Structure 1
Amino acid sequence: MNDKMNNLAVRTLSGAVLAAVMLGAIAWSQWSFGVLLAALTVGGMLEFYALAAKRGNAPQRVIGLVAGLVLFALNFAFISDDIEILGGARGIFAAGMAFLLLLFPVMFVCELWRRRENPAADIGVTLMGVFYVALPFSLMAYFPIIATEQWEPRVMFGYVFIIWANDVFAYLVGMSLGRHRLFERLSPKKSWEGFFGGLAGAVGMGLLAGHLLGASLWAWAGLALVASVAGVAGDLAESMFKRAAGVKDSGALIPGHGGVLDRFDAMLLSAPFVFVYMLFVM
Protein backbone atom coordinates (compact mmCIF):
# COMPACT_ATOMS: atom_id res chain seq x y z
CA MET A 1 0.00 0.00 0.00
CA ASN A 2 1.53 3.34 -1.07
CA ASP A 3 1.65 6.39 1.16
CA LYS A 4 -1.38 8.03 -0.47
CA MET A 5 -3.60 4.99 0.07
CA ASN A 6 -2.25 4.54 3.59
CA ASN A 7 -3.05 8.17 4.45
CA LEU A 8 -6.55 7.76 3.00
CA ALA A 9 -7.13 4.64 5.11
CA VAL A 10 -5.93 6.41 8.27
CA ARG A 11 -8.06 9.46 7.50
CA THR A 12 -11.15 7.33 6.83
CA LEU A 13 -10.73 5.23 9.98
CA SER A 14 -10.06 8.19 12.28
CA GLY A 15 -12.97 10.10 10.72
CA ALA A 16 -15.30 7.18 11.35
CA VAL A 17 -14.14 6.91 14.97
CA LEU A 18 -14.59 10.66 15.48
CA ALA A 19 -18.11 10.54 14.02
CA ALA A 20 -19.03 7.55 16.18
CA VAL A 21 -17.75 9.24 19.35
CA MET A 22 -19.54 12.49 18.55
CA LEU A 23 -22.88 10.99 17.61
CA GLY A 24 -22.70 8.48 20.44
CA ALA A 25 -22.03 11.19 23.02
CA ILE A 26 -24.92 13.29 21.70
CA ALA A 27 -27.33 10.35 21.68
CA TRP A 28 -26.36 8.79 25.00
CA SER A 29 -27.31 11.55 27.42
CA GLN A 30 -27.14 15.24 28.14
CA TRP A 31 -24.15 14.63 30.42
CA SER A 32 -22.13 12.69 27.84
CA PHE A 33 -22.86 15.51 25.40
CA GLY A 34 -21.57 17.98 28.00
CA VAL A 35 -18.38 15.97 28.54
CA LEU A 36 -17.80 15.94 24.78
CA LEU A 37 -18.21 19.72 24.51
CA ALA A 38 -15.96 20.32 27.53
CA ALA A 39 -13.22 18.12 26.05
CA LEU A 40 -13.46 19.92 22.70
CA THR A 41 -13.28 23.25 24.53
CA VAL A 42 -10.02 22.30 26.24
CA GLY A 43 -8.49 20.83 23.09
CA GLY A 44 -9.51 23.76 20.91
CA MET A 45 -8.25 26.38 23.35
CA LEU A 46 -4.88 24.65 23.73
CA GLU A 47 -4.51 24.55 19.95
CA PHE A 48 -5.48 28.20 19.57
CA TYR A 49 -2.99 29.28 22.23
CA ALA A 50 -0.29 27.18 20.52
CA LEU A 51 -1.00 28.95 17.22
CA ALA A 52 -0.79 32.31 18.97
CA ALA A 53 2.54 31.34 20.58
CA LYS A 54 4.01 30.65 17.13
CA ARG A 55 3.41 34.33 16.33
CA GLY A 56 5.31 35.46 19.41
CA ASN A 57 2.34 35.93 21.74
CA ALA A 58 2.33 34.53 25.27
CA PRO A 59 -1.28 33.80 26.27
CA GLN A 60 -2.03 33.00 29.89
CA ARG A 61 -3.03 29.41 29.14
CA VAL A 62 -4.09 28.32 32.62
CA ILE A 63 -6.30 31.33 33.32
CA GLY A 64 -7.74 31.17 29.81
CA LEU A 65 -8.57 27.48 30.12
CA VAL A 66 -10.14 27.94 33.55
CA ALA A 67 -12.22 30.86 32.26
CA GLY A 68 -13.34 28.83 29.25
CA LEU A 69 -14.35 25.83 31.33
CA VAL A 70 -16.19 27.99 33.88
CA LEU A 71 -18.06 29.70 31.05
CA PHE A 72 -19.04 26.33 29.63
CA ALA A 73 -20.02 24.94 33.06
CA LEU A 74 -22.26 27.95 33.74
CA ASN A 75 -24.14 27.50 30.49
CA PHE A 76 -24.41 23.74 30.88
CA ALA A 77 -25.66 24.11 34.46
CA PHE A 78 -28.25 26.62 33.31
CA ILE A 79 -29.94 24.14 30.97
CA SER A 80 -29.27 20.84 32.74
CA ASP A 81 -32.31 18.86 33.89
CA ASP A 82 -30.34 17.34 36.77
CA ILE A 83 -28.83 20.53 38.14
CA GLU A 84 -30.85 20.33 41.36
CA ILE A 85 -28.67 17.48 42.54
CA LEU A 86 -25.75 19.90 42.48
CA GLY A 87 -27.33 22.37 44.88
CA GLY A 88 -29.64 24.42 42.69
CA ALA A 89 -29.11 26.51 39.59
CA ARG A 90 -29.27 29.95 41.20
CA GLY A 91 -26.46 29.41 43.72
CA ILE A 92 -24.20 27.69 41.18
CA PHE A 93 -24.77 30.36 38.55
CA ALA A 94 -24.10 33.21 41.01
CA ALA A 95 -20.91 31.66 42.36
CA GLY A 96 -19.65 30.71 38.91
CA MET A 97 -20.39 34.12 37.46
CA ALA A 98 -18.59 35.84 40.33
CA PHE A 99 -15.56 33.59 39.82
CA LEU A 100 -15.57 34.19 36.07
CA LEU A 101 -15.82 37.97 36.46
CA LEU A 102 -12.85 37.96 38.84
CA LEU A 103 -10.73 35.92 36.42
CA PHE A 104 -10.64 38.72 33.88
CA PRO A 105 -9.02 41.37 36.13
CA VAL A 106 -6.71 38.64 37.46
CA MET A 107 -5.27 38.41 33.92
CA PHE A 108 -4.13 42.02 34.20
CA VAL A 109 -2.63 41.45 37.63
CA CYS A 110 -0.70 38.39 36.43
CA GLU A 111 0.61 40.31 33.46
CA LEU A 112 2.37 42.73 35.84
CA TRP A 113 4.89 40.02 36.74
CA ARG A 114 5.41 38.55 33.28
CA ARG A 115 7.47 41.47 31.94
CA ARG A 116 6.35 40.99 28.36
CA GLU A 117 6.92 43.61 25.66
CA ASN A 118 3.28 43.66 24.55
CA PRO A 119 1.07 42.75 27.53
CA ALA A 120 -2.09 44.07 25.85
CA ALA A 121 -1.64 41.58 22.99
CA ASP A 122 -1.08 38.69 25.40
CA ILE A 123 -4.21 39.55 27.39
CA GLY A 124 -6.15 40.00 24.15
CA VAL A 125 -5.06 36.59 22.83
CA THR A 126 -5.99 34.96 26.13
CA LEU A 127 -9.47 36.47 26.01
CA MET A 128 -9.83 35.62 22.33
CA GLY A 129 -9.27 31.95 23.11
CA VAL A 130 -12.26 32.11 25.46
CA PHE A 131 -14.56 33.84 22.99
CA TYR A 132 -13.38 32.06 19.83
CA VAL A 133 -13.48 28.51 21.26
CA ALA A 134 -15.21 28.26 24.65
CA LEU A 135 -18.18 30.51 23.85
CA PRO A 136 -19.33 28.63 20.71
CA PHE A 137 -19.05 25.23 22.40
CA SER A 138 -20.96 26.66 25.36
CA LEU A 139 -23.76 27.83 23.05
CA MET A 140 -23.96 24.39 21.43
CA ALA A 141 -25.09 23.01 24.79
CA TYR A 142 -28.39 24.85 24.17
CA PHE A 143 -29.05 23.44 20.69
CA PRO A 144 -30.80 20.21 21.76
CA ILE A 145 -33.15 22.11 24.07
CA ILE A 146 -33.64 25.67 22.80
CA ALA A 147 -36.15 24.84 20.04
CA THR A 148 -38.19 22.20 21.90
CA GLU A 149 -37.73 23.31 25.54
CA GLN A 150 -36.78 19.73 26.42
CA TRP A 151 -33.78 17.52 25.69
CA GLU A 152 -33.98 16.54 22.01
CA PRO A 153 -30.62 15.26 20.69
CA ARG A 154 -32.00 14.99 17.15
CA VAL A 155 -31.81 18.78 16.88
CA MET A 156 -28.06 18.61 17.47
CA PHE A 157 -27.83 15.74 14.98
CA GLY A 158 -29.54 18.01 12.45
CA TYR A 159 -27.03 20.79 13.01
CA VAL A 160 -24.03 18.44 12.82
CA PHE A 161 -25.24 16.78 9.62
CA ILE A 162 -25.93 20.18 8.05
CA ILE A 163 -22.31 21.17 8.68
CA TRP A 164 -21.06 17.85 7.34
CA ALA A 165 -23.30 18.05 4.27
CA ASN A 166 -21.97 21.52 3.54
CA ASP A 167 -18.37 20.23 3.70
CA VAL A 168 -19.04 17.14 1.57
CA PHE A 169 -21.03 18.88 -1.18
CA ALA A 170 -18.62 21.83 -1.28
CA TYR A 171 -15.73 19.39 -1.78
CA LEU A 172 -17.48 17.30 -4.45
CA VAL A 173 -18.81 20.24 -6.46
CA GLY A 174 -15.59 22.21 -6.03
CA MET A 175 -13.45 19.29 -7.24
CA SER A 176 -15.61 18.63 -10.29
CA LEU A 177 -16.79 22.11 -11.30
CA GLY A 178 -14.69 24.62 -9.36
CA ARG A 179 -13.25 27.34 -11.55
CA HIS A 180 -13.62 30.64 -9.71
CA ARG A 181 -11.61 31.05 -6.50
CA LEU A 182 -13.59 32.03 -3.41
CA PHE A 183 -10.77 33.38 -1.21
CA GLU A 184 -7.48 32.44 -2.82
CA ARG A 185 -5.32 34.34 -0.33
CA LEU A 186 -6.37 32.07 2.54
CA SER A 187 -7.69 28.92 0.87
CA PRO A 188 -6.54 28.43 -2.75
CA LYS A 189 -8.69 25.33 -3.31
CA LYS A 190 -12.05 26.81 -2.32
CA SER A 191 -14.26 27.95 -5.18
CA TRP A 192 -17.54 29.78 -5.60
CA GLU A 193 -18.95 26.71 -7.29
CA GLY A 194 -18.04 24.64 -4.23
CA PHE A 195 -19.52 27.29 -1.96
CA PHE A 196 -22.91 27.15 -3.67
CA GLY A 197 -22.72 23.36 -3.90
CA GLY A 198 -22.16 23.19 -0.16
CA LEU A 199 -25.01 25.64 0.39
CA ALA A 200 -27.36 23.44 -1.64
CA GLY A 201 -26.27 20.30 0.22
CA ALA A 202 -26.72 22.00 3.59
CA VAL A 203 -30.21 23.25 2.72
CA GLY A 204 -31.17 19.79 1.49
CA MET A 205 -29.99 18.30 4.77
CA GLY A 206 -31.86 21.02 6.66
CA LEU A 207 -35.09 20.15 4.86
CA LEU A 208 -34.57 16.47 5.66
CA ALA A 209 -33.91 17.29 9.33
CA GLY A 210 -37.05 19.40 9.51
CA HIS A 211 -39.09 16.60 7.94
CA LEU A 212 -37.74 13.93 10.31
CA LEU A 213 -38.31 16.17 13.33
CA GLY A 214 -41.82 17.12 12.23
CA ALA A 215 -40.78 20.78 12.41
CA SER A 216 -41.06 23.72 10.03
CA LEU A 217 -39.21 22.97 6.80
CA TRP A 218 -38.73 26.69 6.16
CA ALA A 219 -37.20 27.20 9.61
CA TRP A 220 -34.73 24.36 9.10
CA ALA A 221 -33.87 25.51 5.58
CA GLY A 222 -33.11 28.95 7.01
CA LEU A 223 -31.01 27.42 9.78
CA ALA A 224 -29.04 25.48 7.15
CA LEU A 225 -28.39 28.69 5.20
CA VAL A 226 -27.16 30.48 8.30
CA ALA A 227 -24.99 27.55 9.41
CA SER A 228 -23.54 27.03 5.92
CA VAL A 229 -22.55 30.64 5.21
CA ALA A 230 -21.17 31.23 8.70
CA GLY A 231 -19.45 27.85 8.59
CA VAL A 232 -17.52 28.78 5.44
CA ALA A 233 -16.44 32.00 7.17
CA GLY A 234 -15.31 29.89 10.14
CA ASP A 235 -13.25 27.67 7.87
CA LEU A 236 -11.57 30.71 6.32
CA ALA A 237 -10.96 32.30 9.72
CA GLU A 238 -9.15 29.21 10.97
CA SER A 239 -7.12 29.11 7.75
CA MET A 240 -6.15 32.71 8.47
CA PHE A 241 -4.85 31.77 11.93
CA LYS A 242 -2.93 28.75 10.60
CA ARG A 243 -1.41 30.72 7.73
CA ALA A 244 -0.27 33.42 10.15
CA ALA A 245 1.31 30.74 12.36
CA GLY A 246 2.93 29.03 9.37
CA VAL A 247 1.38 25.59 10.00
CA LYS A 248 -0.76 23.22 7.95
CA ASP A 249 -2.87 21.86 10.81
CA SER A 250 -3.85 23.32 14.18
CA GLY A 251 -2.92 20.06 15.91
CA ALA A 252 -2.43 16.32 15.48
CA LEU A 253 -5.15 14.95 17.76
CA ILE A 254 -7.12 13.32 14.94
CA PRO A 255 -4.86 11.32 12.57
CA GLY A 256 -5.29 12.45 8.99
CA HIS A 257 -7.60 15.31 9.99
CA GLY A 258 -5.48 17.58 12.19
CA GLY A 259 -6.73 19.03 15.44
CA VAL A 260 -9.96 20.16 17.06
CA LEU A 261 -9.90 23.53 15.30
CA ASP A 262 -9.38 21.84 11.93
CA ARG A 263 -12.46 19.64 12.37
CA PHE A 264 -14.75 22.08 14.17
CA ASP A 265 -13.78 25.42 12.59
CA ALA A 266 -17.12 25.73 10.78
CA MET A 267 -19.05 25.11 13.99
CA LEU A 268 -17.06 27.64 15.98
CA LEU A 269 -18.16 30.58 13.88
CA SER A 270 -21.60 29.28 12.94
CA ALA A 271 -22.70 28.34 16.49
CA PRO A 272 -23.38 31.93 17.68
CA PHE A 273 -25.39 32.69 14.52
CA VAL A 274 -27.34 29.43 14.81
CA PHE A 275 -28.00 30.06 18.49
CA VAL A 276 -29.50 33.50 17.79
CA TYR A 277 -31.46 32.06 14.85
CA MET A 278 -32.91 29.29 17.02
CA LEU A 279 -33.70 31.76 19.77
CA PHE A 280 -35.80 34.04 17.56
CA VAL A 281 -37.06 31.81 14.75
CA MET A 282 -37.51 28.24 15.98
Structure 2
Amino acid sequence: MALNMPTFYKRTGSAIVFGAIMLTGLLWPLEWPFLCLVCLINVLCLRDYFRLMQKIDKESLWPGWLPPVIHALSLIIILTFSLRGYDTAEAILWGIFRTLPLVVPVLMMVCTLFKRTALMALMQSIGGLFYITLPMILLVNMRLHDMALPIALIAMIWINDTMAYIVGSFIGKTPFSPISPKKTWEGTAGGALLTIIAAAVYGYLSHTYRMVDWVMLSLLTAVAGTLGDLLESKLKRMADVKDSGNMMPGHGGALDRFDSLIVAAPVVFVYVNWFM
Protein backbone atom coordinates (compact mmCIF):
# COMPACT_ATOMS: atom_id res chain seq x y z
CA MET A 1 0.00 0.00 0.00
CA ALA A 2 1.41 3.39 -0.99
CA LEU A 3 2.30 5.78 1.78
CA ASN A 4 -0.22 8.60 2.16
CA MET A 5 2.18 11.54 2.50
CA PRO A 6 -0.36 14.18 3.71
CA THR A 7 -1.52 11.79 6.45
CA PHE A 8 2.08 10.91 7.30
CA TYR A 9 3.04 14.57 7.64
CA LYS A 10 -0.05 15.29 9.70
CA ARG A 11 0.64 12.42 12.12
CA THR A 12 4.34 13.25 12.35
CA GLY A 13 3.75 16.94 12.95
CA SER A 14 1.17 16.40 15.68
CA ALA A 15 3.41 13.76 17.31
CA ILE A 16 6.35 16.20 17.40
CA VAL A 17 4.25 18.94 19.00
CA PHE A 18 2.75 16.46 21.47
CA GLY A 19 6.19 15.06 22.35
CA ALA A 20 7.68 18.53 22.88
CA ILE A 21 4.90 19.52 25.29
CA MET A 22 5.22 16.24 27.21
CA LEU A 23 9.01 16.43 27.50
CA THR A 24 8.90 20.05 28.65
CA GLY A 25 6.44 19.27 31.42
CA LEU A 26 8.21 16.09 32.51
CA LEU A 27 11.85 17.15 32.39
CA TRP A 28 11.70 20.78 33.49
CA PRO A 29 13.27 20.92 37.00
CA LEU A 30 10.59 23.28 38.37
CA GLU A 31 7.24 21.88 39.46
CA TRP A 32 4.89 24.36 37.76
CA PRO A 33 5.47 23.11 34.15
CA PHE A 34 4.55 19.58 35.27
CA LEU A 35 1.48 20.93 37.06
CA CYS A 36 0.44 22.79 33.90
CA LEU A 37 0.91 19.59 31.89
CA VAL A 38 -1.24 17.58 34.31
CA CYS A 39 -3.99 20.22 34.28
CA LEU A 40 -3.95 20.26 30.47
CA ILE A 41 -4.20 16.46 30.27
CA ASN A 42 -7.02 16.49 32.83
CA VAL A 43 -9.09 19.06 30.92
CA LEU A 44 -8.61 17.42 27.52
CA CYS A 45 -9.38 13.91 28.82
CA LEU A 46 -12.48 15.10 30.69
CA ARG A 47 -13.69 16.77 27.49
CA ASP A 48 -13.37 13.49 25.59
CA TYR A 49 -14.96 11.59 28.48
CA PHE A 50 -18.03 13.85 28.48
CA ARG A 51 -18.41 13.38 24.73
CA LEU A 52 -18.32 9.61 25.10
CA MET A 53 -20.81 9.61 28.00
CA GLN A 54 -23.28 11.75 26.07
CA LYS A 55 -23.08 9.36 23.11
CA ILE A 56 -23.36 6.25 25.30
CA ASP A 57 -26.35 7.45 27.33
CA LYS A 58 -28.37 9.61 24.96
CA GLU A 59 -31.28 9.79 27.42
CA SER A 60 -29.25 11.59 30.09
CA LEU A 61 -30.02 15.26 30.50
CA TRP A 62 -26.70 17.16 30.38
CA PRO A 63 -27.16 20.78 31.52
CA GLY A 64 -24.87 23.10 29.58
CA TRP A 65 -23.25 24.33 32.79
CA LEU A 66 -22.35 20.87 34.14
CA PRO A 67 -19.16 20.05 32.12
CA PRO A 68 -17.58 23.49 32.74
CA VAL A 69 -18.33 23.18 36.46
CA ILE A 70 -16.72 19.73 36.61
CA HIS A 71 -13.71 21.02 34.67
CA ALA A 72 -13.28 23.93 37.09
CA LEU A 73 -13.79 21.69 40.13
CA SER A 74 -11.20 19.21 38.89
CA LEU A 75 -8.60 21.97 38.37
CA ILE A 76 -9.28 23.42 41.83
CA ILE A 77 -8.77 19.98 43.38
CA ILE A 78 -5.50 19.38 41.50
CA LEU A 79 -4.13 22.84 42.39
CA THR A 80 -5.12 22.40 46.03
CA PHE A 81 -3.27 19.12 46.28
CA SER A 82 -0.17 20.49 44.59
CA LEU A 83 0.01 23.64 46.72
CA ARG A 84 -0.53 21.76 49.98
CA GLY A 85 2.52 19.56 49.47
CA TYR A 86 3.02 15.80 49.37
CA ASP A 87 2.22 14.83 52.98
CA THR A 88 -0.76 17.14 53.35
CA ALA A 89 -2.15 16.17 49.94
CA GLU A 90 -1.93 12.50 50.83
CA ALA A 91 -3.80 13.11 54.08
CA ILE A 92 -6.51 15.05 52.22
CA LEU A 93 -6.79 12.24 49.67
CA TRP A 94 -7.51 9.60 52.25
CA GLY A 95 -9.86 12.02 54.01
CA ILE A 96 -11.91 12.25 50.81
CA PHE A 97 -12.18 8.46 50.65
CA ARG A 98 -13.32 8.32 54.27
CA THR A 99 -16.09 10.87 53.66
CA LEU A 100 -17.38 9.30 50.45
CA PRO A 101 -19.85 6.98 52.25
CA LEU A 102 -21.52 10.13 53.61
CA VAL A 103 -21.25 12.39 50.56
CA VAL A 104 -22.60 10.00 47.91
CA PRO A 105 -25.96 9.26 49.64
CA VAL A 106 -26.49 13.00 50.20
CA LEU A 107 -25.83 13.72 46.52
CA MET A 108 -28.24 11.00 45.48
CA MET A 109 -30.94 12.37 47.79
CA VAL A 110 -30.51 15.83 46.26
CA CYS A 111 -30.60 14.41 42.76
CA THR A 112 -33.94 12.71 43.38
CA LEU A 113 -35.46 16.18 43.14
CA PHE A 114 -34.54 16.12 39.45
CA LYS A 115 -35.36 13.74 36.65
CA ARG A 116 -33.53 10.43 36.38
CA THR A 117 -31.71 11.76 33.34
CA ALA A 118 -30.20 14.61 35.37
CA LEU A 119 -29.21 12.17 38.10
CA MET A 120 -27.38 9.98 35.60
CA ALA A 121 -25.55 12.94 34.10
CA LEU A 122 -24.41 14.07 37.55
CA MET A 123 -23.26 10.60 38.58
CA GLN A 124 -21.39 10.19 35.27
CA SER A 125 -19.70 13.54 35.89
CA ILE A 126 -18.61 12.45 39.36
CA GLY A 127 -17.37 9.23 37.78
CA GLY A 128 -15.21 11.33 35.46
CA LEU A 129 -13.52 12.92 38.47
CA PHE A 130 -12.56 9.49 39.78
CA TYR A 131 -11.66 8.08 36.37
CA ILE A 132 -9.49 11.00 35.21
CA THR A 133 -8.86 13.65 37.88
CA LEU A 134 -7.90 11.24 40.69
CA PRO A 135 -5.04 9.68 38.64
CA MET A 136 -3.83 13.20 37.78
CA ILE A 137 -3.73 14.05 41.50
CA LEU A 138 -1.74 10.90 42.18
CA LEU A 139 0.71 11.84 39.41
CA VAL A 140 1.25 15.21 41.09
CA ASN A 141 1.81 13.43 44.41
CA MET A 142 4.43 11.17 42.86
CA ARG A 143 6.13 14.17 41.24
CA LEU A 144 6.32 15.89 44.63
CA HIS A 145 7.84 12.73 46.07
CA ASP A 146 10.36 12.05 43.28
CA MET A 147 10.61 13.62 39.84
CA ALA A 148 11.79 10.29 38.37
CA LEU A 149 8.57 8.41 39.19
CA PRO A 150 6.12 10.01 36.69
CA ILE A 151 8.87 10.09 34.05
CA ALA A 152 9.53 6.37 34.56
CA LEU A 153 5.80 5.57 34.54
CA ILE A 154 5.19 7.33 31.22
CA ALA A 155 8.38 5.82 29.72
CA MET A 156 7.27 2.30 30.72
CA ILE A 157 3.82 2.84 29.22
CA TRP A 158 5.41 4.02 25.98
CA ILE A 159 7.79 1.03 25.87
CA ASN A 160 4.97 -1.40 26.60
CA ASP A 161 2.66 0.04 23.92
CA THR A 162 5.42 0.27 21.31
CA MET A 163 6.86 -3.19 21.93
CA ALA A 164 3.41 -4.77 22.08
CA TYR A 165 2.63 -3.26 18.67
CA ILE A 166 5.95 -4.39 17.14
CA VAL A 167 5.85 -7.92 18.58
CA GLY A 168 2.18 -8.31 17.70
CA SER A 169 2.84 -7.15 14.14
CA PHE A 170 5.48 -9.84 13.60
CA ILE A 171 4.26 -12.88 15.54
CA GLY A 172 0.81 -11.98 16.86
CA LYS A 173 -1.83 -14.58 15.99
CA THR A 174 -4.03 -15.13 19.06
CA PRO A 175 -6.64 -12.38 19.66
CA PHE A 176 -6.34 -10.91 23.14
CA SER A 177 -9.88 -9.56 23.58
CA PRO A 178 -12.94 -8.95 21.40
CA ILE A 179 -12.99 -5.42 22.80
CA SER A 180 -9.76 -4.65 20.91
CA PRO A 181 -9.43 -7.08 17.97
CA LYS A 182 -6.00 -5.75 16.93
CA LYS A 183 -4.40 -6.78 20.24
CA THR A 184 -2.89 -10.26 20.48
CA TRP A 185 -1.68 -12.37 23.38
CA GLU A 186 1.76 -12.59 21.79
CA GLY A 187 2.04 -8.83 21.41
CA THR A 188 0.72 -8.14 24.92
CA ALA A 189 3.09 -10.64 26.53
CA GLY A 190 6.02 -9.44 24.42
CA GLY A 191 5.39 -5.80 25.33
CA ALA A 192 5.19 -6.60 29.04
CA LEU A 193 8.32 -8.77 28.96
CA LEU A 194 10.42 -6.19 27.14
CA THR A 195 9.17 -3.45 29.47
CA ILE A 196 10.23 -5.52 32.49
CA ILE A 197 13.66 -6.16 30.95
CA ALA A 198 14.17 -2.45 30.22
CA ALA A 199 13.12 -1.51 33.78
CA ALA A 200 15.40 -4.17 35.28
CA VAL A 201 18.38 -2.89 33.31
CA TYR A 202 17.62 0.68 34.38
CA GLY A 203 17.22 -0.39 38.01
CA TYR A 204 20.53 -2.24 37.90
CA LEU A 205 22.38 0.76 36.46
CA SER A 206 20.70 3.63 38.31
CA HIS A 207 20.61 2.39 41.95
CA THR A 208 17.87 4.94 42.74
CA TYR A 209 15.57 2.19 44.02
CA ARG A 210 15.90 -1.57 44.34
CA MET A 211 15.90 -3.42 41.06
CA VAL A 212 12.98 -5.54 42.31
CA ASP A 213 10.99 -2.31 42.73
CA TRP A 214 11.59 -1.31 39.11
CA VAL A 215 10.63 -4.80 37.96
CA MET A 216 7.39 -4.69 39.96
CA LEU A 217 6.58 -1.18 38.76
CA SER A 218 7.08 -2.24 35.13
CA LEU A 219 4.92 -5.34 35.58
CA LEU A 220 2.12 -3.37 37.25
CA THR A 221 2.36 -0.65 34.61
CA ALA A 222 2.16 -3.15 31.74
CA VAL A 223 -0.87 -4.95 33.20
CA ALA A 224 -2.74 -1.84 34.36
CA GLY A 225 -1.88 0.05 31.17
CA THR A 226 -3.32 -2.74 29.03
CA LEU A 227 -6.48 -2.79 31.14
CA GLY A 228 -6.75 0.99 30.78
CA ASP A 229 -6.52 0.69 27.00
CA LEU A 230 -9.23 -1.99 26.99
CA LEU A 231 -11.48 0.11 29.22
CA GLU A 232 -11.27 3.10 26.90
CA SER A 233 -11.80 0.84 23.88
CA LYS A 234 -14.95 -0.50 25.54
CA LEU A 235 -16.24 3.05 26.11
CA LYS A 236 -15.62 3.91 22.46
CA ARG A 237 -17.43 0.77 21.32
CA MET A 238 -20.39 1.66 23.53
CA ALA A 239 -20.38 5.17 22.05
CA ASP A 240 -19.92 3.74 18.52
CA VAL A 241 -16.95 5.98 17.69
CA LYS A 242 -13.46 5.22 16.42
CA ASP A 243 -11.62 7.91 18.41
CA SER A 244 -12.47 9.68 21.64
CA GLY A 245 -11.74 13.05 20.02
CA ASN A 246 -9.66 14.88 17.46
CA MET A 247 -7.06 16.64 19.62
CA MET A 248 -4.11 15.15 17.70
CA PRO A 249 -4.64 14.99 13.91
CA GLY A 250 -4.12 11.40 12.83
CA HIS A 251 -3.84 10.11 16.42
CA GLY A 252 -7.27 10.64 17.97
CA GLY A 253 -8.21 12.33 21.21
CA ALA A 254 -6.51 12.92 24.54
CA LEU A 255 -8.26 9.93 26.11
CA ASP A 256 -6.86 7.73 23.33
CA ARG A 257 -3.34 8.85 24.27
CA PHE A 258 -3.62 8.71 28.06
CA ASP A 259 -6.00 5.77 28.63
CA SER A 260 -3.16 3.55 29.89
CA LEU A 261 -1.73 6.27 32.15
CA ILE A 262 -5.10 6.93 33.78
CA VAL A 263 -5.41 3.36 35.06
CA ALA A 264 -1.70 2.71 35.68
CA ALA A 265 -1.10 5.82 37.83
CA PRO A 266 -3.25 4.72 40.82
CA VAL A 267 -1.74 1.22 40.78
CA VAL A 268 1.82 2.57 40.71
CA PHE A 269 0.96 5.14 43.40
CA VAL A 270 -0.22 2.39 45.75
CA TYR A 271 2.94 0.34 45.20
CA VAL A 272 5.20 3.37 45.70
CA ASN A 273 3.50 4.33 48.96
CA TRP A 274 3.24 0.84 50.41
CA PHE A 275 6.50 -0.76 49.33
CA MET A 276 8.95 1.99 48.30
Which position in structure 2 is the counterpart of 1:135?
Answer: 134
Kindly provide the amino acid, as one letter, of the partner of residue 42 in structure 2.
T
TM-score w.r.t. the length of structure 1 is 0.83
Contact kept? 1:210, 1:217, Cα under 8 Å: yes
Contact kept? 2:111, 2:118, Cα under 8 Å: no
Which position in structure 1 is the counterpart of 2:196?
Answer: 203
Residue 26 of structure 1, CA deviation: 1.5
Encode CA deviations 1:145-185: one digit per residue, 9 max, x unaligned: 43xxxxx423322111100000000000111111111102x
Residue 277 of structure 1, CA deviation: 0.6
* 2:74 pairs with 1:75: no
| Change beyond 3 A, Cα 1:79–1:264 | same
Which position in structure 2 is the counterpart of 1:41?
Answer: 42
Residue 244 of structure 1, CA deviation: 0.7
Which position in structure 2 is the counterpart of 1:85?
Answer: none
Contact kept? 2:48, 2:245, Cα under 8 Å: yes
Match of 1:193 among 182, 186, 196: 186
| 2-structure distance, mates of 1:229, 1:45 | 23
Secondary structure of the residue aligned to 1:190 is: strand
Runs in 1 of length 4+ with deviation above 4 angstroms?
Answer: 103-112
Which position in structure 2 is the counterpart of 1:50?
Answer: 51
| 1-structure distance, mates of 2:250, 2:112 | 38
**Size of the alignment, in residue pairs?**
260
Kindly provide the amino acid, as one letter, of the partner of residue 127 in structure 2.
M
Kindly provide the amino acid, as one letter, of the partner of residue 252 in structure 1.
N
Which runs of structure 2 are paired with 1:119-198 in the superposition (5 Å)? 119-146=118-145, 152-184=146-178, 186-198=179-191
Residue 11 of structure 1, CA deviation: 1.6
| 1-structure distance, mates of 2:147, 2:69 | 32
Contact kept? 2:192, 2:223, Cα under 8 Å: yes
Q: Which runs of 5+ in 2 are unaligned?
A: none
Alpha carbon RMSD of aligned pairs, Å? 2.7
Residue 205 of structure 1, CA deviation: 2.7
Which position in structure 1 is the counterpart of 2:18?
Answer: 18
Encode CA deviations 1:21-42: one digit per residue, 9 max, x unaligned: 1111121121100010011111
Residue 130 of structure 1, CA deviation: 0.4
| Change beyond 3 A, Cα 1:262–1:108 | farther
Identity among equivalent positions (%) equals 33
| Change beyond 3 A, Cα 1:207–1:79 | farther
